[in-house]
Amino acid sequence: MYREIFVPCVLGAYPEPAMATAASLAQRSEGRLVALAGASIVAPVATAWMYYPAQVYATMQATGQATVERLATRIRERLTPETVRWEVRSTDRIWMTPGEQAVPHARFADVTVLGLDRELTDFEDRLFSALLVESGVPLLTVATDAAVSRFQRAVVAWKDTREASRAVHDAMPLLARSQAVDVLIVDASPERERPHAAETLILSHLERHGLRPNVVRRCAEDGGAGPAILEHARETGADYIVAGGYGRRRASEFIFGGVTRTLMKHSPIPVLFAH
């Protein structure tokens, strides 16, 4: 069970759908929601910092800290009506990147819930990557226009990789309470009669945890496996997706696209990633 649910609000605002989802998870597991208020200052010309008057730094520091405190107050007001246990933290490390602010706190949580806008900014992209790769805990992304998930119908995007295996294990607290779990295998030959040994093993593993997974095979759509996963989730009315994140190098995904980026940018339902 997820006893500590972390919500990083380090981009100067808090994403309501992510906050509501985190509160729902805390309610389900009788856990605690921890929100981090933060803001990051980026100088317009980094190479010219040494030429800025000292007073400029002091002004930027004071402005940044005031922004963080206002945000922390708003988050406390938002969480006050909730019946779950919660804590709001503030970071004064405004000269660090959002990822550098959030990752140290994420490492002491069971899951991180991150709100993502449809039109990803560079800061959001980098924050996502830092939390996924450097925190060591699963990352649940929630679109800024998403409804609160019931977490009853799951789609596990299965592939015989370390990342997919880690995602299944990290998602077990959610999967164990789901009413339906589809293990979705996307490849170029969906009509293959005999499953690979790894597919049989993952099904047996889930069954030993009391689940009754349904195996589904689909052919990769144009653009790769990502669209096929999203289409299956839409057709089945899934509440969330479980997937390995960055199975290949991040630079490659950023340039050429990939399943991770497709899901993080286009999924209308939460996606639990693990790396």
CATH number, position 89: 3.40.50.620
Query: Is 148 among the domain residues?
Result: no
Q: What is the pLDDT of residue 258?
A: 85
In this prediction the pTM is: 0.91
Neighbour-count burial for 179-214, b at 16+ CB within 10 Å, e otherwise? ebbbbbbbeeeeeeeeeeeebeebbeebeeeebebe
- pLDDT tens digits for 107-162? 999 999 999 987 878 889 999 999 999 999 999 999 998 989 999 999 999 999 99
CB atoms within 10 A of CB 65: 15
Cα 15 from Cα 76, distance rounded (Å): 14
Q: Domain check: are 124 and 191 in the same one? A: no
Residue 84 sits in which domain range? 4-143
Q: What is the pLDDT of residue 64?
A: 86
What is the number of domains present in the chain? 2
Instruction: Encode the chain (275 residues) as per-residue pLDDT tens digits.
Output: 899 999 999 998 899 999 999 999 999 999 999 999 999 986 544 455 555 666 777 888 888 899 999 999 999 999 999 999 999 999 989 999 999 999 999 999 999 999 998 787 888 999 999 999 999 999 999 999 898 999 999 999 999 999 999 999 999 999 999 999 999 999 866 555 556 677 888 999 999 999 999 999 998 866 689 999 999 999 999 999 999 998 655 554 443 348 999 999 999 999 999 99
Q: Domain check: are 20 and 132 in the same one? A: yes
Q: What is the pLDDT of residue 21?
A: 97
Look at residue 82 and give its three-state secondary structure: coil
Q: What is the pLDDT of residue 190?
A: 53
Q: Domain check: are 182 and 228 in the same one? A: yes
Q: What is the pLDDT of residue 189?
A: 61
DSSP-derived secondary structure letter, 226: H
Q: For residue 51, give Cα distances in angstroms to 54, 265, 267.
A: 9, 39, 45
Q: Domain check: are 133 and 12 in the same one? A: yes
Residue among 130, 165, 124 nearest 250 (CA): 130
Q: Domain check: are 81 and 191 in the same one? A: no
Q: Domain check: are 104 and 202 in the same one? A: no
Q: What is the pLDDT of residue 250?
A: 52
126 burial via Cβ count (<10 Å: 0-12, 13-18, 19+): middle
Query: Is 9 among the domain residues?
Result: yes
Domain boundary among 143, 171, 202: 143
Q: What is the pLDDT of residue 122?
A: 86
Q: Domain check: are 216 and 264 in the same one? A: yes
Q: Which residues pair with 130 in a beta bridge?
A: none
Q: What is the pLDDT of residue 255?
A: 38
Determine contact, residues 64/38, Cβ cutoff 8 Å: no
Q: Domain check: are 200 and 166 in the same one? A: yes
* Torsion, Cα of 247, 250, 254, 258 (10° steps): 0
Q: What is the pLDDT of residue 141?
A: 98
